[in-house]
Amino acid sequence: MDSWPVNWEALDALIIDFAKSENLIEDSSPPSSPYLTSSYHSRLIIRQIRRSLEVGNIDAAIDILRVHAPFVLEDHRLLFRLQKLKFIELLRKGTRDDRIFAIDYLRKSLAPCALNAYPEAYEEFKHVLLAFIYDKDDQTSPVANEWAEKRRYEIAGLVSSVLRAHFHAYNPIFSMALRYLMSIHKVFCFRQGIVSPISYLTERLLLEERDFPALPPESLYEAQVFDEVDIQALAHAVELTRQGAIDSLRFAKGDLFQAFQNEICRMRLNDAMLDELVREYCVYRGIVEPGMQTSSEPLKVNPPESGCCSSLDSSIDVDHSTAKHSNSETSATTDLSSMQGIDVELRFASEPTNNLEDCSPSGSHQSESSSLLRNRSKGAGERSKRKRWRGRHDDLDFISGVHFNRDGKQEVSTTISKGVECTSAEDKYEIVLQMKELASRGMAAEVVEEISTLDPDFFVQNPVFLFQLKQVEFLKLVGLGDHSGALRVACSHLGPLAARDPNLLKPLKETLLSLLRPNEEALVTGLPLHALATSLQVVFGKRLGIEEPQLMRIMRATLHTHSEWFKLQMCKDRFESLLRIDSLKENNTPVLTSLATSKSNIDSCSLGSSQATISSTNGVSDDSSSPNQASSQDAICDENAILKVMEFLALPRADAIHLLAQYNGNAETVIQQIFA
């Protein structure tokens, strides 16, 4: 099974920006993009308005709009919808005074607005009058939809879409990229008829509901000509009809990328779950301290017990008929712990434990890990750089119903030495982080020594990691001019390892060629140390009972399916640079390329980590070619012909190309044959 490379350093940067822009961590330094800081206040205003509307407090929402966004109340189309909702909420209270007030509000506000809102408004006004005589609990009444509480969420989503675009208060890049990647992942798995290995996460993280699209200004309803390439790109990127894509482009005044951002932000995420997954990732990567200062604890969202989530060959079934999430984001978060298939437990110990159990009367096992404990004190400077997790304090009232199992504990592998087995959970976590830090700094010899002391069987079971680390040590010695020392490393370790595994012979030869290269410094600086450090962290961490973050599984799977999807579409994703998806896929490995792609390395990395990668069962190419690489079919198809078939037959790009290939690229013939 192939392992999809992810640039974890690029992901770290995006997640740190996300945490800063959402004020989730205590950090005085601003996000990398000034826009993220400026939009936070606007997002808070939008969130407050949304909440007021969702709980039926229309007056509070109108008051906030009057102060911060009066243009919404000047748009009679939006004002009429708000006033109609307020009328229903007055009747919903059921008191005599509220009923009288509703009649007065009807005369003075709702009726006059209905005359000027939009052509259908007056008919809607007359229809809503039926709420006077039909009870709110009567599900068969003509106004059951008006009484339904989902109407609150529809209006809240519509107003949020308008405000978000007006203030340019888009979600952080990571949040938008995650929405986009998960939506493509779902479509890819559905169209290919394969089972997603991360469905237990995506089904709960990416909600089914979307905010209503914003209404284009009435002045923009006249006919406008947009490039058909833009229309089709937007429609297929975010699953819109062609008319929906046109309306979105109208609202964005023809700006494709702004329209795309508007549509992506309409997708709803379970914010409480996302925050906890991000925190879990940040703790794992050493970005924030493991101690939690708020009432929440990190989530562990486990797959259902009946299935394995490491590959598409797992027995997990995607239930496409799963009941939809509540339209209320509140209920979606507060019911998180009771969802089927979710086990919420502590990922890491939140309380520091300084007492190590003495598992041996002689204390010999404790002395085996003494070097690591000394390194812990040396690593205090690194720990001091970690941020304190603040949490989404403005959301605490909405997530207070999430209950966490505070008794969850890590399972410790019985294959590790007793010296580590008796170490506290916090110490194990620090050990793994220190191994990652040492590896990322190229201190390969120290990593091998420490891990061998802690777990003598680790490199026996993971020989490719030993080869990689010794390869780093070899190249560093070459860079320092110590050719004799480098050859000793090659003779003692690299040669014997390659003799036992033929797949290592090619990278061994390429490594030895570095002896002839004049620019030794480039060899050292060009090593993929961060990728190696992350792989080592995942595999060695699992040996100590520390599972990799769920977010890692999501990113592996979704980035892979993103590439596979655009191979099927036979084109390049126009939005991947906007969302930094291209940087997440960059994996610069100039020296260790052969090793990184060797089968033995893939197997070794897969051994210790739950690789959520996708391998199409419908013949999707697994090579590493660019997603926009033209196929022989694409070569005979004119772009205008492809767009014409896509437009007339409402087909995805790949299907349009396959049809054109059958009829020598003639769009008119394809359309005639279909309609005939």
Q: Mean pLDDT across the chain, nearest whole number? A: 76
The answer to whether position 474 is within a domain reads yes
Q: Is-contact 539 607, C-beta < 8 A?
A: yes
Looking at 517, 548, 579, which one is the last position of a domain?
548
Three-point CA angle 538, 543, 547, nearest 5°: 50
The answer to whether position 219 is within a domain reads no
Question: Do 644 and 530 belong to one domain?
Answer: no
- Tell me the angle at which helices 58-68 and 34-54 cross, rounded to the nearest 10 degrees: 150
Asked if pLDDT for residue 303 goes beyond 50, the answer is yes
Q: What's this model's pTM, rounded to 2 decimal places? A: 0.77
The answer to whether position 594 is within a domain reads no
Q: For 318-362, how does the pLDDT look when each residue is reduced to its tens digit (9 = 90+)?
A: 333 333 333 444 343 334 333 333 333 333 333 333 333 444 333
Q: Is-contact 279 24, C-beta < 8 A?
A: yes
Looking at 548, 581, 596, which one is the last position of a domain?
548
Average pLDDT over residues 47-71: 95
Question: Do 434 and 539 belong to one domain?
Answer: yes
Number of domains the chain contains: 3
Question: Do 432 and 543 belong to one domain?
Answer: yes
Per the structure, the complete domain to which residue 663 belongs is given by 639-675
Report residue 382 CA to chain centroid gap.
Answer: 27
Looking at 126, 148, 167, which one is the last position of a domain?
167
Q: Rounded CA gap, 604 and 222, in Å?
A: 60
Confidence of residue 275 (pLDDT cuts 50, 70, 90): very high
The answer to whether position 130 is within a domain reads yes
Confidence of residue 269 (pLDDT cuts 50, 70, 90): very high
Question: Do 542 and 647 belong to one domain?
Answer: no
Identify which of 465, 615, 612 has the alpha carbon closest to the alpha carbon of residue 552: 612
The answer to whether position 92 is within a domain reads yes
pLDDT attached to residue 130: 92
Q: Is-contact 453 369, C-beta < 8 A?
A: yes
Question: Would you call 212 helix, strand, or coil by DSSP?
Answer: coil
What six digits make up the tokens of 200?
């237990």
The answer to whether position 495 is within a domain reads yes
Q: For 139-195, how does the pLDDT look when each residue is reduced to its tens digit (9 = 90+)?
A: 899 999 999 999 999 999 999 999 999 999 999 999 999 999 999 999 999 989 999
**How many other β-carbons are positioned within 10 Å of the β-carbon of residue 560?**
26
The answer to whether position 148 is within a domain reads yes
Average pLDDT over residues 533-560: 92
Alpha-helical regions (H) of 134-270: 144-147, 150-167, 173-192, 199-205, 228-237, 242-251, 256-266
Determine how β-strand 25-26 pairs with β-strand 388-389.
Answer: antiparallel
Confidence of residue 43 (pLDDT cuts 50, 70, 90): very high
Alpha-helical regions (H) of 34-136: 34-54, 58-68, 70-74, 76-93, 96-105, 111-116, 121-128
The answer to whether position 154 is within a domain reads yes
pLDDT exceeding 90 applies to what percent of the chain?
45
